[in-house]
Amino acid sequence: MNHERIKEKLEILADAAKYDVSCSSSGSKRQNKNKGLGDSTGMGICHSYTEDGRCVSLLKILLTNVCIFDCAYCVTRKSNDIKRAAFTVQEVVDLTINFYRRNYIEGLFLSSGIFKSPDATMERLVRVAKKLREEENFNGYIHLKSIPGASDELMREAGLYADRLSVNIEIPTKAGLKLLAPDKDHKDFIQPMKAVKNSIDLYKSEKKIIKSTPVYAPAGQSTQMIVGATGESDRDVMYSANFFYNKFNMKRVYYSGYIPVADDSRLPALGTEVPMMRENRLYQTDWLLRFYGFDVREILNDQHQNLDMDIDPKLSWALRNLDQFPVDINKADKRMLARIPGVGMKSVHKIISARRYRKLGWEHLKAIGISMNRGKYFITCDSREFERRDLTGIQIKNQILLSGASKYSKNFTNQLSLF
């Protein structure tokens, strides 16, 4: 192996893959078998963090950054004048195994530019995964990118070796996609999602009948949307996400604030700041939908098309629905507890557990770890002291912003520490 050459390829092909923000390596059920290498039954581990604060859990690379397409938002686009490179199948296998053995990574995230045809590209990706599983007895995590336009047959094969498959929808609205990726068809994204969902369903039902049926993409599928490239609203973004969650059983939707990579009149200018705060608010909203029992229409609708930047979406919802508060900590059901600003899901469970023993007052709530700064306006508990109840939403908001100034001016991220 020529070290310098491999190093150069790694530099180019990791750099080109880094804009894909999905990093999760959890949710799979692939146990170590026959004393082979690796195990992906756990929660997935971030082995390191980049200097921009994102989790590094997978070796995330492109097989090649040669591409016949010219999507405006993509560094790899044909018209971009950059160095090109390509890994061989064996090189990717060796890197993955050797990084894994040193506990650098949870597995491989492999994507690619489309170098000849969607099928030729997809076939090569599948070959890497097959080799890892069958020749190296590798049980670590493998995430393969579905190439839009690849055949159902290849998608089916991919799912036999990969833990997760994903195809990036990239642009949340059809009109935006038409503008920025004229040679791509919305259908080309939807088709592989459908194929994967159908196969997952099929293998699940077969598994019930025949025990030995192989696992098919056990960690499911995910997708990513770039936000801030085409002027879409937060409502557009979250309604699309909601559609994917419901329609294709997506495990995760990722939101990636657009990073200007091209000088193109259709796009925000080079040097435009990455909309990190907006990205953070979208992730918070996503959490409210997946774990807190909110309906997307409660948070975003005709009256409220974009998320507030200065406060989190749960607080924002609560301020618009003051009639539902205050919530009695000692009586309220789980659903309502989860809706109190400053109370996360872990605190909800602690409250429910602790109040079996005694009535809870402010001191208990503080000790449990509730953010009182936000919570106190929305709670009654076992105490005579309480906040004034005659404040308007705007007054509450101002008090919270004043008292917690540092919290809201802090830098934001999509590694969530929420509510």
143 binds ligand SF4 (CB under 6 A): no
Candidate segments 21-29, 74-82, 190-198, 290-298, binder of ligand SF4 by CB under 6 A: 74-82
Rounded to whole angstroms, how far apart are CA atoms 346 and 370?
10
The identity of residue 310, as a single letter, is D
Least separation in angstroms between residue 74's CB and ligand SF4 is: 3
19 near another protein, judged by CB under 8 A: yes
Q: Is 259 in the site for another protein (CB under 8 A)?
A: yes
Buried b (16+ CB within 10 A) or exposed e, 385-407: eeeeeeeeeeebbebbeeebeee
Radius of gyration of the chain (CA): 24
* Nearer CB in complex with another protein: 272/392: 272
Q: Is 13 in the site for ligand SF4 (CB under 6 A)?
A: no
Q: Which stretch binds ligand SF4 (CB under 6 A): 23-31, 64-72, 205-213, 229-237?
A: 64-72
Spatial distance between the Cα atoms of 54 and 180, rounded to a whole number of angstroms: 27
Q: Which stretch binds another protein (CB under 8 A): 32-40, 76-84, 226-234, 239-247?
A: 32-40
| Cβ at position 249, least distance to ligand SF4 in Å | 24
Q: Which is nearer to ligand SF4, 24 or 76 (CB)?
A: 76
Q: Which residue has the tokens 């195809």?
A: 167
First to last CA, the chain: 49
Rounded CA separation 22/1 (Å) = 30
| DSSP-derived secondary structure for 57-92 | -EEEEESB---S---TT-TT-TTS-----B--HHHH
Site for another protein, residues 57 to 76, rule: CB under 8 A: 59-60
CB count, 10 Å around CB of 148? 24
Judged by CB under 6 A, the stretch of 40-48, 69-77, 153-161, 213-221 that binds ligand SF4 is: 69-77
- Give the HSE-up count for residue 71: Cα atoms under 13 Å, Cβ half-sphere: 22
Tokens of 216: 């098919």
Q: Does 137 bind another protein (CB under 8 A)?
A: yes
Q: 247 or 366: whose CB is closer to another protein?
A: 366
69 binds ligand SF4 (CB under 6 A): yes
Judge contact between 154 and 221, C-beta under 8 A.
no
Return the number of other C-beta atoms located less than 10 Å from residue 245's C-beta: 18
For the bound state, the minimum distance from the C-beta of residue 30 to another protein, rounded and expressed in Å, comes to 11
Size of the site for another protein (CB under 8 A): 59
The helix (run of H) or strand (run of E) holding residue 368 is: helix 362-368
Q: Exposure of 269 by Cβ count < 10 A (0-12 exposed, 13-18 middle, 19+ buried)?
A: exposed
Among 59, 61, 63, 67, binds ligand SF4 (CB under 6 A): 67
Selection from ligand SF4, another protein, none that 137 binds (CB < 5 to 8 A by kind) is: another protein
In the complex, what is the shortest distance from the CB of residue 358 to another protein, in angstroms, rounded to a whole number?
5
Which listed option, another protein, ligand SF4, none, makes contact with residue 350 (CB within 5 to 8 Å by class)?
Answer: another protein
Q: How many CB atoms lie within 10 A of CB 202?
A: 13
17 lies in the site for another protein, by CB under 8 A: yes
Where are any strands of DSSP class E within 252-410?
252-257, 327-328, 379-380
Would you count residue 88 as binding another protein (CB under 8 A)?
Answer: no
Nearer of residues 74 and 227 to ligand SF4, judged by Cβ = 74
Using CB under 6 A as the criterion, what x/- string covers residues 107-126 for binding ligand SF4?
Answer: ------xx------------
Cβ distance to ligand SF4 smaller for residue 28 or 111 = 111
Cβ-defined contacts of 101-105 (< 8 Å, 24+): 101/37, 103/47, 104/47, 104/48, 104/59, 105/47, 105/56, 105/57, 105/58, 105/59, 105/140
Residue 74 binds ligand SF4 (CB under 6 A): yes
Q: Which residues bind ligand SF4 (CB under 6 A)?
A: 67, 69, 71, 74, 76-77, 113-114
Query: Which residues of the chain form contacts with another protein (CB under 8 A)?
Result: 1, 3, 6-7, 10-12, 14-15, 17-19, 31-32, 35-39, 41-42, 45-56, 59-60, 95, 98-99, 101-104, 137, 259, 274, 276, 350, 353-354, 356-358, 360, 364, 367-368, 411, 413, 415
